[in-house]
Amino acid sequence: MPAPQDWLTRVDEALGRSEPGERRAALLALLGEIADEQLRLRERADLLSSASFEGLLIHSEGKVIDVNDRLCEMHGYDRQELLSGDILRMCVAPEDVPGVLDHMRKGFQGEYVVTGVRKDGSRFRSEVLSKQGRIGERPVRIGAIRDVTERERTHALLRESEARFRELTDAAFDLTIFSRDGVILDARGDTERVLGRPTSELLGRSVFDFMAPSTLPAARQMVSENRLGFIDVVAVDAAGELVPTTAVVVAGVLDGQPVRVAGVRDMRSVQRLEAERRALEQQVERAQRLESLGVLAGGIAHDFNNLLAGVLGNAELLRDRATGDEDRQIAADIMTAAQRAAALTRQMLAYAGQRDLGRREHVNLRNVLHELRSLLDATLSKKANLELAVDPAAVVLGDRGTLSQVLMNLLTNASDALGEAPGRITVRVRSVTEVDARWDHAQGAVVGPGRWVLVEVEDTGVGMDEATRGRVFEPFFSTKEHGHGLGLASCLGIVRAHGGAVLVESEVGRGSRFSVVLPATDAPLDAAAERQGPTMPPCRVLLVDDEAIVRGQLRRSLELRGYTVVEAANGRTALEALVPAAGVAAAIDVVILDMTMPDLDGSEVLRRLRAAGSRVPVIISSGYLDIAVERRLARGEFQGFLAKPYGASELVSAIERARAAKM
C-alpha cells in the first residue's frame, strides 16, 4: 500500500498537466486506484475479523463502535444487535457486570476472566484482554474476548488430579521430598513426627544431612547417577535417633522445573508389627510343640498307669497276704517304687493338661505357702533369703495338691538358679483386676481384664537367655545336671487346667521372675475338715476295663473286702449287663468305668446308660483323661473320678462316696 505522501505526489502531478483533458484522465485514474486500494483494505480487515480466534470490540465511553464476526459468533448475535444494544449486559453475566464497569472506570489494561452469556442464555467462561487506544484524536478501549471454557475445565481437572495425587501421596507416604542435585526444595508431610524437625529446617539443605553414615554411600551413588527407584535409608532425627525408612524416587516437576520426588515411608511401625508377628508365630509354634508333647506325654502316661495299676494293686495284695516280715517288706518296696513311678506319670499328666473331675475346693494360697514353709526350709538353698508378701484374701478355686506342687516347683527352681551363691527369693501373692501388655506373651489361658490372683516368684540367680526361656516349659528339657525337666512342664499344665496362665521374664545375670495368674473367687474358705460318712457294707460292683491285669487286681482287692464283682472287658459288654435287651439286669450298685477303651469309650457308655434311664452311680477311672472327652460329659452324670494308679483304700472310699451321692 502506497504511503500518504506518495498519493499527494501523484495528485500534484495530475493537477500539473497542461491539458485539461489530461488532468481529468489522470485524476480519474488516480481515484480508481484509491477505490481499489480501499476495497482491498476492507477485504483484508474483514478477513482478519472473521479469521480471528478472539472476539474483538471497540468502544468509547461505553458505546460500541465496532465488533468482529468472531464476537458475534461467540455470543450468538448479529452485528447490528451488538452495535445497537447494551452489549455489556447482553454478553456478560449479571454478577460480573459490576467488576467490568469498575475496570472501565479505572482504565484497567490487562487480562481478567468473566462469565459470558449467549443469546440463548447459556453461559461460558471467557477471558478479556482490554487495552486503551485512539482513533484519531478520539480515545477508545479495545477488548479481545476468548472462550476459555475448555481451558478452565482442563485446569479444574488438573487441580483435581493434583489434589488426588497429593491425597494418595499423603496416604501412601509419611513424607514427600522434592530435591534437585540433592538439595531439598520442598517437603510435605509430618516432618515433626518422622525427623523431629519442622519443614522450614529442611529447605535448602542437602538430603544427605539427615542420613546415617551407613546409608550415605548408596544414596550418594543413586543421586550422582540420577537413578530412580526404591532405596532403604536410615535417617537421623533431631534427637540423634536412627529412623529406618524406605523411599520411592521418581522424576517430577516443581514450579515448572524438573526435580526428584522421593516418597518416604517411616518403617518403625512396620518393623514393630513385624517383630510382633514373629513373636506371635514363635508363641503359636511353641504352643503347638508343647501341645504335641503333651499329647505324647499323656498317651505314655495312660498306658504306663494301666500297668502301674496292676503292679501297685497286686503288690498291695501280696503285702496283705504275706506271712513273713521279709515278704511284707518286699511287697512294700514294690509299692513304693510303683508309687514313685505313679508320681512321675502324674507330672506328665499335669503337663498334658489333665483336670481333676472331682469337686474342687477353695484354696487360700497364703495357707498353702505357710504349710509348705517347713518343707521349703529343708529344700531350698541355705544361702537363699526367702521373702513372702502374701495377700490373705488370695483365694482360688482348684485342687490344693496340684497348686501346692506348682508353688513348690517354682520355689525349687528359684533356689536352683541361685546355685551356691547367696541370693534372694521373693514371693508375692496379690489380687489384681488389670493386667498389662506383657501377658499377651504368656502361655496358658487368654488373660484379660477380670479378677485374678497373681503369684510372682522372683530370684536373683543366674537368669536365662532367650533360647532357654523359649524351652523352659518343654518336658524333658532341663538345665540341671540331674533334672528330668518335668517340674516346670507340669506347672504349666496345672495352671492351664485351672484356667490360668504363666509368664517368664529373665535376663542372663539378672535373675528370673515366674508370674502365674489364676482366676480369683469370692467364695468363703471352708476350713473344716471333710466329714467322714459311716462305713457302708460291701455291695455289687461292675468293673469295666479293657486291661485284664487291671480288672483282675481290682476284683481280687474288692473280693477280699467282701464286695461282689462283675467284670466287663469293653463298653458293649457293660451296657448288656446294665441295660439288657430283654430280661432283668443283674443288680449293680456301683460301676467303675474306664474312659479309654477301643470299642465304646467311657463317655459313650455313660451317655447311653443315662439315656436308657439308669441312675446307677458311676465312678470314672482313667490313666489319662482327654479334655475333649471331658467336655462331652454332662456335669452330675457321674459320681466320682479315680486317677490310675490307685490303691484299694482309695477305691473303697470312692465307692462309698458314690453310693452316698446316688442320684
For the chain, state the CA radius of gyration.
Answer: 51
**Given this model, what pLDDT does residue 376 score?**
74
* Tens of pLDDT, residues 413-426: 888 888 888 888 99
52-56, 200-204, 418-422 — which is least confidently predicted? 52-56
Q: What percent of the chain has pLDDT over 70?
A: 80
The set of cell numbers assigned to 591 is 460301676
Distance CA 650, CA 529 (A): 18
User: Beta-carbon neighbour count of residue 160 at 10 Å?
Assistant: 10
| Mean per-residue pLDDT of the chain | 80
Same fold, 173-266 and 361-519: no
**Given this model, what pLDDT does residue 428 score?**
93
Instruction: Please identify which residue in the block is written with the cell numbers 495299676.
Output: 309
Q: Where along the chain do its domains lie?
A: 1-51, 173-266, 361-519, 540-660
Distances (CA, A) of 527 to 151, 156, 456: 92, 84, 25
Listing DSSP states for 531-597 in one string gives: PPPPPPPP-EEEEE-S-HHHHHHHHHHHHHTT-EEEEESSHHHHHHHHS-SSS-----SEEEEES--
pLDDT band at 50 (very low <50, low <70, confident <90, very high): low
**Given this model, what pLDDT does residue 524 score?**
53
Distance CA 633, CA 355 (A): 13
* Tens of pLDDT, residues 485-542: 556 777 887 888 888 999 999 988 889 999 999 998 865 544 443 444 446 788 999 9
Instruction: Please identify which residue in the block is written with the cell numbers 539427615.
Output: 210
Average pLDDT over residues 387-409: 85
Residues whose CB falls within 8 Å of the CB of residue 66, separated by 6 or more in sequence, listed in order = 57, 58, 83
**Given this model, what pLDDT does residue 628 score?**
44
- Indicate the pTM of the whole model: 0.41
Average pLDDT over residues 20-43: 70
Looking at the domain that runs over 540-660, which CATH code has it been given? 3.40.50.2300
Distance CA 418, CA 425 (A): 9
Q: Which of 164-173, 260-269, 486-495 has the highest mean pLDDT?
A: 260-269
Distance CA 323, CA 220 (A): 97
Confidence check: pLDDT of 24 > 50: yes
* Tens of pLDDT, residues 431-463: 998 888 788 778 888 888 888 999 999 999 888
* Tens of pLDDT, residues 81-101: 888 888 888 999 999 999 999
Query: Could you say which of 3.40.50.1010, 3.90.1300.10, 3.30.565.10, 3.40.309.10 is the CATH number of the domain covering 361-519?
Result: 3.30.565.10
Residue 92's beta-bridge partner residues? 116
**Given this model, what pLDDT does residue 151 score?**
85
**Given this model, what pLDDT does residue 171 score?**
67
Residues whose CB falls within 8 Å of the CB of residue 400, separated by 6 or more in sequence, listed in order = 361, 363, 368
User: Beta-carbon neighbour count of residue 574 at 10 Å?
Assistant: 29
Confidence check: pLDDT of 663 > 50: no
* Tens of pLDDT, residues 118-129: 999 999 999 999
Mutual angle of helices 548-560 and 648-660, in 10-degree steps: 80
Task: Report the candidate in 422, 458, 419, 451 with the shortest Cα–Cα distance to residue 435.
Answer: 451
**Given this model, what pLDDT does residue 150 score?**
85
**Given this model, what pLDDT does residue 355 score?**
47
Q: Are 320 and 614 in contact (CB under 8 A)?
A: no
Higher pLDDT, 39 or 153: 153
Chain CA centroid to CA 301, Å: 39
Peptide bond into 617 cis (omega under 30): no
Confidence check: pLDDT of 314 > 70: yes
Average pLDDT over residues 179-192: 89
* Tens of pLDDT, residues 355-387: 444 456 788 888 888 877 766 776 787 778 888
User: Beta-carbon neighbour count of residue 413 at 10 Å?
Assistant: 22
The set of cell numbers assigned to 59 is 468502544
Measured torsion, CA atoms of residues 578, 579, 585, 586, in degrees rounded to the nearest 10: 0
56-60, 233-237, 300-304 — which is least confidently predicted? 300-304
Average pLDDT over residues 290-307: 68
Measured torsion, CA atoms of residues 389, 392, 395, 400, in degrees rounded to the nearest 10: 70
Average pLDDT over residues 202-228: 90
Number of residues in the chain: 663
**Given this model, what pLDDT does residue 317 score?**
80
Instruction: Please identify which residue in the block is written with the cell numbers 520411592.
Output: 248
Average pLDDT over residues 189-196: 88
Which parts of 419-482 fold into alpha helices (H)?
466-471
Confidence check: pLDDT of 163 > 80: no
Which parts of 52-85 fold into alpha helices (H)?
69-75, 79-84
**Given this model, what pLDDT does residue 527 score?**
42
Higher pLDDT, 603 or 301: 603
Residues whose CB falls within 8 Å of the CB of residue 206, separated by 6 or more in sequence, listed in order = 182, 183, 184
Q: Sign of dihedral through CA atoms 62, 65, 71, 72?
A: positive
Average pLDDT over residues 310-328: 80
pLDDT band at 481 (very low <50, low <70, confident <90, very high): low
pLDDT band at 308 (very low <50, low <70, confident <90, very high): confident
Average pLDDT over residues 462-476: 79
Task: Report the candidate in 568, 564, 662, 570 with the shortest Cα–Cα distance to residue 619.
Answer: 662
346-360, 376-390, 602-616 — which is least confidently predicted? 346-360
Q: Are 594 and 571 in contact (CB under 8 A)?
A: no
Distance CA 153, CA 559 (A): 104
Higher pLDDT, 313 or 18: 313
4-8, 566-570, 611-615 — which is least confidently predicted? 4-8
Looking at the domain that runs over 173-266, which CATH code has it been given? 3.30.450.20
Give the single-character DSSP code of 657.
H
Task: Report the candidate in 303, 311, 302, 313 with the shortest Cα–Cα distance to residue 554.
Answer: 313
Higher pLDDT, 183 or 28: 183
